[in-house]
Copies of this chain bind each other. A is one copy, B any other.
Amino acid sequence: MTKRETLNVRLERFYAEARKAGLRITPQRLAIFKLVAGSVSHPGAEEIHRQLRRSFPMISLDTVYRTLWKLADLGLVSALGQERIQLRFDANQNRHQHFTCKRCGLIRDFTNARLSALGIPSEAAQFGQAEDLRVEVRGVCSACLRKKAPGEGKNNNSKPKTSSIRRRT
């Protein structure tokens, strides 16, 4: 699949999902999605904002963020890194894996023999010198499941204000 074909497939999905969700297709939103969908660099919000200023000199950074999170809600993009903002520290230097709760930020250790045995994949070498491999299982912890297990509409719009966790999903 060429780069152009990939972009088109993603755009189709964008239109389809946006329509399904009753999301307005503004020029800003379209431009933001196109930029991310056509990029291989996993850009951050500032970078996207800087690029888009060329065609939308007045676009605000806030719009970029709002749009990206909307797209994430629709499953059209993913947020990388963490969604939690605080750094977390770990004194366990044995090889192990983490379970992370995407709601409250809980992190717990576990050890799985198969995962611990994984070597650095050869594909990584093309980008530079690989040093280690991290495996993270993401989900929702037992405590958070208990909190509001039932009654979750597909579009959970509880305003999160500012907790340790920046966003849902």
Contacts and interface: CB of A to CB of B under 8 A. Distances in A.
Interface in A60-117: 68, 71-72, 75-84, 86-91, 93, 97-99, 101-102, 106-112, 114-115
A82 to B, nearest CB: 4
A86 B46 contact: yes
Nearest to A33: B91
- Total copies of the chain: 2
A129 interface: yes
Contacts of A164: 44
Interface of A: 10, 33, 36-37, 39-46, 48, 68, 71-72, 75-84, 86-91, 93, 97-99, 101-102, 106-112, 114-115, 118, 120-124, 126-145, 164, 166
